Amino acid sequence: MATVLVLVTTADGAADKVALQALALGRQLADGGAVHALVIGDAAAAAELGAWGASSVHLAQHPQLDAPAPDAAARILDDLAGSLGATFVVGPGTEEGNTVLARAAARAGLPFAANCSAVTPGSPVTVTRSRWGGSLLEEAAIHADRVILTAAAHVFEAVDTGGSADVAAFTPALDDADLAVRVVGRVPAPSGGVSLSDAKVVVSGGRGAGSADGFGPVVELAGLLGAAVGCSRAVTIAGWRPHTEQVGQTGTKIAPELYIAAGVSGATQHLAGCKGAKRILAINKDPEAPIMTAADYAVIGDMAEVLPAISAAIRRARGA
Amino acid sequence: MRVLVCVKRVPAVAGLITLTEDERAIDTKYVGFQVGPHEECAVEEAVRLVEAHGGESVVLTLGPAEALEQLREAMSIGANRAIHLVTDGADWDAESTAGAIVGAIRADEAANGPFDVVLVGNEAADSGGYQVGVRIARALGRPAVTGIKGLSVADGTARAEQEAASGRNVFEVKLPAVVAVLEGINLPRYPSVPGRLRAKSKPVASSSPDRPAQRLEMRRLVVPATEAKQAQVLGRGAEAAQAVVELLSSVGVL
Ligand SMILES: Cc1cc2nc3c(=O)[nH]c(=O)nc-3n(C[C@H](O)[C@H](O)[C@H](O)COP(=O)(O)OP(=O)(O)OC[C@H]3O[C@@H](n4cnc5c(N)ncnc54)[C@H](O)[C@@H]3O)c2cc1C
Ligand SMILES: Nc1ncnc2c1ncn2[C@@H]1O[C@H](COP(=O)(O)O)[C@@H](O)[C@H]1O
């Protein structure tokens, strides 16, 4: 049995998906012990957490916490971990989760293991964690009395336990220094276009497009399918397309119904971003390209011929 | 303005990853080395800050003797000098890495005054620790912003932008500060031939910090099992178009 504290990040009154997965990991680690959830600011989200495995919920409320403030979150988490005597402090393996847990570890002077896909209690605790965006795994031992880690996204299954938990609201102690890093404004997203991370279909081009102009047929097919346009890193560093379209380890992670990748070799770092796709269609002139062992379907050929032919066939099919 | 940028030498893997026999490192017999994409952008950002505001940019790495290559690369696009914390090639966890970098920053600042901006990658390309930047900031009592895709500096303040659902969050922090950047913040330039020549004579200060006991102790690397697929070939060239249309309609995306 262990005492576990889980940071549950939220947006607009609901817990983040990955945070509920972290809560499931927390419940597993507690092994019958207490599973404390910490929510910052969001009372509506806090009220739901008993059902997702929390045995008690701590709701931090503070007038200065209306905007994200990662050091303040880290302070609250670290203080609470101390007063509960938590042996595990867990968060979601997201940008927000990783930065807050890293900051909490830095405060406490303890190690931090980001993006863990397995955790084995013991002395020392051992973890399996992602390297290279998940293309490689690391088994590591954590030598610390309090283990601070995040749960890799989409590994643990959030479990609706149907339970309930009391929500204890409190006002955390915060200094000016804790609030020095705080969101002071927002820049709205440019409107229009299909969001890459949520798109049902993504059509990507790689170096095989040959030039910025070579993307014409990629954009045309995407338009016909109502799809988002994606690309590989070879394309963004050549300046052919903006980085916002890059799929992969250092780009966007996508999970469409269908991913069409033309002229993309299928480097591990590219696959790290598209392995969530339900189906992959590769268009490549090289039948031996690595993407062939990640794709479900393939067309062997020159994308400059194949893509316009597909667009023409779609138009014909629709015209009929 | 003084800017420090921290980079890590990592293998330039692309295809199948193979491990060394002891399963503690990537087999690099057939691969080169580079710095990760976030850090390439961090170097570019450091050079641009100094181009805009004057001063100097310093590139730092903790790594084996060979990591001098990555320092020269950064100096060839404009970093003024380098600090090399030389290791024997063993893996250092993020906590000890940050500790050694903090030591080097303190020593350099004692002689030359504070770095207004310390730039790091958001996460290292290989180990993905997500923490060196915030640890440096904590130790030095400076603010840190992470996940940054836009940066401007004026009047002793950094304005930093971070992508968020439907837009960007804006942070404003007082300098000196630590900024952890993501690829996409800029488009890094390629080194020029004169740039490469100049880099050869730029100063590199080397020292060898002690490696403390690792509290996040890497024991073994594992290549994850993936289901080995073999794509079903729908056809060749333009003739395959009809088969693709049938696939599109059968999966309901037409
Ligand atoms: C830490 C790190 C992070 C990275 N992150 C990312 C990332 O987020 N996203 C990413 O994409 N990469 C990333 N990379 C880079 C990655 O390793 C590859 O370099 C990159 O994905 C290659 O892009 P590509 O497939 O377009 O180019 P190439 O590897 O050059 O492949 C081009 C392909 O196009 C085919 N081709 C050529 N001409 C034609 C034609 N006329 N018609 C059809 N096919 C053709 C070729 O057969 C080949 O398969 C990262 C690398 C590192 C080290
Ligand atoms: N060995 C190293 N030498 C210099 N900088 C490093 C080193 N390791 C990590 N960093 C910097 O810290 C960032 C984040 O690393 P990490 O927290 O380990 O993911 C990297 O992108 C680098 O900018």
Average pLDDT, stretch A53-64?
96
pLDDT score at B195 = 97
State pLDDT tens for residues A106-154. Answer: 999 999 999 999 999 999 999 999 999 999 999 999 999 999 999 999 9
Domain that holds residue B52: 2-225
Ligand nearest to the CA of A240: 1
Residue A309 Cα, gap to closest chain B Cα (Å): 5
State pLDDT tens for residues B125-162. Answer: 999 999 999 999 999 999 999 999 999 999 999 999 99
Peptide bond into B176 cis (omega under 30): yes
Domain containing residue A269: CATH number: 3.40.50.1220
Q: Are residues A13 and A159 in the same domain?
A: yes
Residue A215 domain flag: yes
Domain containing residue A41: CATH number: 3.40.50.620
Amino acid at A6: V
Q: Which of B45, B85, B53, B62 is nearest to B179 (CA)?
A: B45
Residue B116 domain flag: yes
Residue A234 domain flag: yes
Residue A189 domain flag: no
Confidence of residue B224 (pLDDT cuts 50, 70, 90): very high
A246 lines ligand 1 (CB under 6 A): yes
State pLDDT tens for residues B89-134. Answer: 999 999 999 999 999 999 999 999 999 999 999 999 999 999 999 9
Q: Are residues A153 and A225 in the same domain?
A: no
Residue A285 domain flag: yes
The arrangement of strands across the sheet holding A297-300 comes to A228-231, A201-205, A258-262, A279-284, A297-300, B232-236
pLDDT score at B24 = 94
Q: How many domains does chain A have?
A: 2
Most distant CA pair in chain A: distance in Å?
A: 70
Please list the residues that pair with A183 across neighbouring strands: B171
| Cα–Cα–Cα angle for B39, B44, B47, rounded to 5 degrees | 125
**How many angstroms separate the CA atoms of A141 and A126, rounded?**
4
Residue A191 domain flag: no
pLDDT score at A320 = 62
Query: Cα–Cα distances in Å, from A89 out to A10, A80, A114, A151?
Result: 17, 10, 12, 11
| Contact assessment for residue A12 and residue A18, using Cβ atoms and an 8 Å cutoff | no
| Contact assessment for residue A80 and residue A107, using Cβ atoms and an 8 Å cutoff | no
State pLDDT tens for residues A215-240. Answer: 999 999 999 999 999 999 999 999 99
Q: In terms of DSSP bridges, do strands A201-205 and A10-11 run parallel, antiparallel, or are they unpaired?
A: unpaired
State pLDDT tens for residues B42-78. Answer: 999 999 999 999 999 999 999 999 999 999 999 999 9
Please state, rounded to an integer, the average pLDDT across all residues of chain A: 96
Confidence of residue A288 (pLDDT cuts 50, 70, 90): very high
Ligand 2: lining residues by beta carbon, under 6 Å: B 6-8, 38-39, 60-63, 94, 97, 120-121, 123-124, 127-133
Q: Which of B152, B145, B6, B158 is nearest to B79 (CA)?
A: B6
pLDDT score at A195 = 86
pLDDT score at A171 = 97
Query: Cα–Cα distances in Å, from A268 out to A255, A294, A320?
Result: 16, 10, 41
3-state secondary structure of A229: strand
Q: Which of A290, A303, A298, A282 is nearest to A209 (CA)?
A: A303
Amino acid at A319: G
| Contact assessment for residue A88 and residue A26, using Cβ atoms and an 8 Å cutoff | yes
What's the token pair of residue A66?
């209306």
State pLDDT tens for residues A71-81. Answer: 999 999 999 99
Residue A195 domain flag: no
Residue B129 domain flag: yes
Residue A207 domain flag: yes
pLDDT score at A194 = 78
> 């014409």: which residue's tokens?
A216
Residue B165 DSSP symbol = T
Average pLDDT, stretch A273-285?
96
Domain containing residue B121: CATH number: 3.40.50.620
Q: How many domains does chain B have?
A: 1
pLDDT score at B225 = 87
Q: What is the interface size between A and B, counted as CB pairs within 8 Å?
A: 257
Residue A98 domain flag: yes
Q: Which of A49, A112, A36, A102 is nearest to A73 (CA)?
A: A102
Please list the residues that pair with A37 across neighbouring strands: A6, A57
* The pLDDT of residue A191 is above 80: no
Residue nearest atom 4 in ligand 2 by C-alpha distance: B61
> 């009220």: which residue's tokens?
A47
CB-side neighbour CA atoms (13 Å) of A117: 16
Q: Are residues A147 and A21 in the same domain?
A: yes
- Say which residues have a Cβ less than 8 Å from residue B89's Cβ, sequence separation at least 6: B64
* The pLDDT of residue A66 is above 90: no
**How many angstroms separate the CA atoms of B130 and B144, rounded?**
12
**How many angstroms separate the CA atoms of A306 and A221, rounded?**
11
Domain end position, chosen among A179, A209, A244? A179
Say if the ipTM goes beyond 0.85.
Answer: yes
* The pLDDT of residue A303 is above 90: yes
What's the token pair of residue B108?
């350099």
Whole-number Å distance, alpha carbon A6 to ligand 2 midpoint, is 26
**How many angstroms separate the CA atoms of A60 and A19, rounded?**
17
Please list the residues that pair with B181 across neighbouring strands: B121, B148
Average pLDDT, stretch A312-317?
96
Residue B254 domain flag: no
Q: Are residues A133 and A166 in the same domain?
A: yes
What's the token pair of residue A41?
């600011």
- Residues of chain B with Cβ-Cβ distance to A131 below 8 Å are 126-128, 221
pLDDT score at A170 = 98
Domain that holds residue A276: 201-319
Lowest mean pLDDT among A179-193, B121-135, B165-179: A179-193
pLDDT score at B200 = 97
Surface of B (90-109) touching A: CB under 8 A: 93-95
Amino acid at B198: R
Residue of B nearest to A312 (CA): B241
Ligand nearest to the CA of B184: 1
Q: Are residues A63 and A155 in the same domain?
A: yes
